[in-house]
Amino acid sequence: MATLYVVSTPIGNLGDLSPRATDTLRGVSRILAEDTRRTRVIAERAGATAPLVSLHAHNERERTERILAWLAGGEDLALVSDAGTPLVSDPGARVVSAVLAEGHRVVPIPGASAVLAALVASGLPSERFTFLGFPERKGKARTRLLERAAGAEETVILFESPNRLAGLLEDLVEACGPEREAAIARELTKLHEEVVRGTLVEVLGYYREHPPKGEVTVVLGPASETPDRQHAEGEVLSLASDLLRQGMKPSEAAREVAARLDVVRNEAYRIVHELAGDENHE
Q: Are residues 100 and 8 in the same domain?
A: yes
Contacts of 281 (CB under 8 A, 6+ apart): none
Specify whether 126 is located in the same domain as 51: no
Same domain, yes or no: 137 and 168:
yes
Residue 89 backbone class (left: φ over 0; alpha: ψ -120 to 50; beta: rest): left
Which letter does DSSP use for residue 54 in this model?
E
d(CA 29, CA 70): 9
Q: Distance of alpha carbon 1 from its chain centroid, rounded?
A: 34
> Does 213 map to a domain?
yes
The one-letter code for the residue type at 173 is V
Number of domains in the chain: 3
| Domain shared by 107 and 124, yes or no | no
Q: Is residue 33 part of a domain?
A: yes
Looking at the domain assignment, is residue 17 inside a domain?
A: yes
Domain termination residue (choose one: 83, 112, 141): 112
**CATH code at position 20:** 3.40.1010.10
pLDDT at 228: 40
SS3 assignment, position 105? strand
> Do both 103 and 135 map to the same domain?
no
Give residues with Cβ within 8 angstroms of 261, minimum separation 6.
231, 235, 236, 239, 268
Among 16, 13, 55, CA closest to 33: 55
The structure's pTM equals 0.79
- Which of the listed residues 168, 189, 220 is the one where a domain comes to its end? 220
CA distance 30 to 52: 6
Q: Do 210 and 124 belong to one domain?
A: yes
For 202-224, the pLDDT digits (tens) are 999 999 999 999 999 999 999 97
Q: Are residues 147 and 87 in the same domain?
A: no
Percent of the chain with pLDDT over 90: 79
pLDDT tens, 38-56? 999 999 999 999 999 999 9
pLDDT value at 78 more than 70: yes
Report if residue 205 sits inside a domain: yes
Q: Where are the alpha helices (DSSP H) in 73-199?
A: 93-101, 114-122, 139-151, 165-176
Residues 104 and 19 in one domain: yes
What is the arrangement of strands in the sheet containing 155-160, beginning at the earlier edge strand?
129-133, 155-160, 216-220, 181-186, 194-199
Q: Is the pLDDT of residue 177 over 50?
A: yes
Residue 141 and residue 194 share a domain: yes
> Would 137 be classed as within a structural domain?
yes
Residues 201 and 260 in one domain: no
pLDDT (mean) for 248-273: 81
Domain's final residue, options 186, 220, 254: 220
- Residues 54 and 120 grouped into a single domain: no
User: Tell me: the pLDDT tens digits for 103-137?
Assistant: 999 999 999 999 999 999 999 999 999 999 999 99
Phi-psi region of 92 (alpha: psi -120 to 50; beta: other; left: phi over 0): left
**Cβ pair 50, 31 in contact under 8 A:** yes
Please count the other Cβ atoms lying within 10 Å of the Cβ belonging to residue 1: 10
Domain membership of residue 101 as a residue range: 3-112
Say which CATH number the domain at 179 has: 3.30.950.10
Cα atoms in the Cβ-side hemisphere of radius 13 Å centred on 130: 15
Check if the beta carbon of residue 17 is closer than 8 Å to that of residue 9: yes
Edge-to-edge strand list for the sheet holding 52-54:
52-54, 30-33, 77-80, 3-7, 105-109
Kindly state whether residue 32 falls inside one of the protein's structural domains.
yes
Answer yes or no: is 228 within a domain: no
Q: Is 123 in the same domain as 50?
A: no
Q: Residue 226 above 50 pLDDT? A: no
User: How distant, in Å, are the alpha carbons of 65, 123, 166, 183, 230 from that of 210?
Assistant: 47, 22, 10, 15, 32
Asked whether residue 58 is domain-assigned, the answer is yes
